[in-house]
C-alpha cells in the first residue's frame, strides 16, 4: 500500500504552511510520549464501538491489530513520525489508515479529538503520578536506612541559616521522611 497522502490543512488556508511554521507548530517533539496512552484509549474505544454495534466486531479486531502493530513499531524505533501531521494522534491515525485501510477511519466515530487528548493526558498523568510515588517511597526507604546507619551522629541544627543546637543526623533525616 502506498503512503497515505493526508492533508490536515484546516480552516481558511488553501495551501500548505511554510516548513518553518510546520516545524514550529508540530507537537511531536514532546507529545510522542503519549503514544501508549493514545493507543490504549483507541483500543478501548474500538472495543466500545463494537460492543455497541456501531462497528462490526471484525472491524474492531482489525483496528486493534493495527494499533498494536503501531505500538510495536514505535517501541522498536521503526515508526516514522511526520511533523506535518502535527501531533501523536494524527500520526497514529494516519499510520492506522495506511495499515488497515478505510476501516481505520471509523475509529473516530463518537469521539472528538478533544476527548482523545483529554484521555491521553489523564492516563499519562496517572502513570507519572504512580511512577513518582514509587520513586518517593524508594527515597523514603533510603532516608530510613541512612538514619538507622547514623543513629549516633551529631550535627548542628540551624535556625535562620545560623548554627543553633546540636541534633542527631538520624532525626534530621527522618524529618525529611515525614515531610515527604
pLDDT of residue 6 exceeding 50, the answer is no
Q: Taking the domains of the chain in order of start, what are their residue ranges?
A: 19-111, 130-179
- Which pLDDT score is estimated for 2? 43
Q: What is the pLDDT of residues 88-138, one digit of tens each?
A: 999 999 999 999 999 999 999 999 999 999 999 999 999 999 999 999 999
pLDDT confidence band for 22 (50 / 70 / 90): confident
Enter the pTM of the model: 0.78
Whose grid coordinates read 486493534?
64
- Which pLDDT score is estimated for 86? 85
In 2-155, alpha helices (H)? 19-25, 28-31, 35-51, 57-75, 88-100, 113-149
**Pairwise CA distance, residues 96 & 159, whole Å:** 61
- Which pLDDT score is estimated for 108? 93
| pLDDT mean over 35-62 | 98
Write the CATH number of the domain with boundaries 19-111.
1.10.275.10
Amino acid at each position: 500500500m502506498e503512503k497515505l497522502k493526508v492533508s490536515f490543512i484546516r480552516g481558511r488556508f488553501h495551501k500548505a504552511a511554510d516548513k518553518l511554521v510546520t516545524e514550529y507548530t508540530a507537537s511531536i517533539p514532546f507529545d510522542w510520549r503519549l503514544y501508549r496512552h493514545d493507543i490504549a484509549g483507541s483500543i478501548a474505544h474500538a472495543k466500545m464501538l463494537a460492543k455497541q454495534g456501531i462497528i462490526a466486531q471484525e472491524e474492531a479486531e482489525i483496528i486493534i491489530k493495527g494499533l498494536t502493530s503501531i505500538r510495536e513499531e514505535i517501541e522498536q524505533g521503526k515508526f516514522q513520525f511526520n511533523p506535518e501531521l502535527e501531533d501523536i494522534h494524527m500520526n497514529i491515525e494516519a499510520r492506522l489508515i495506511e495499515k488497515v485501510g478505510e476501516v481505520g477511519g471509523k475509529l473516530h466515530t463518537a469521539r472528538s479529538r478533544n476527548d482523545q487528548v483529554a484521555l491521553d493526558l489523564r492516563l499519562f498523568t496517572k502513570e507519572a503520578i504512580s511512577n513518582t510515588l514509587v520513586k518517593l517511597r524508594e527515597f523514603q526507604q533510603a532516608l530510613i536506612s541512612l538514619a538507622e546507619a547514623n543513629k549516633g551522629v551529631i550535627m548542628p541544627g540551624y535556625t535562620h541559616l545560623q548554627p543553633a543546637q546540636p541534633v542527631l543526623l538520624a532525626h534530621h533525616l527522618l524529618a525529611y521522611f515525614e515531610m515527604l
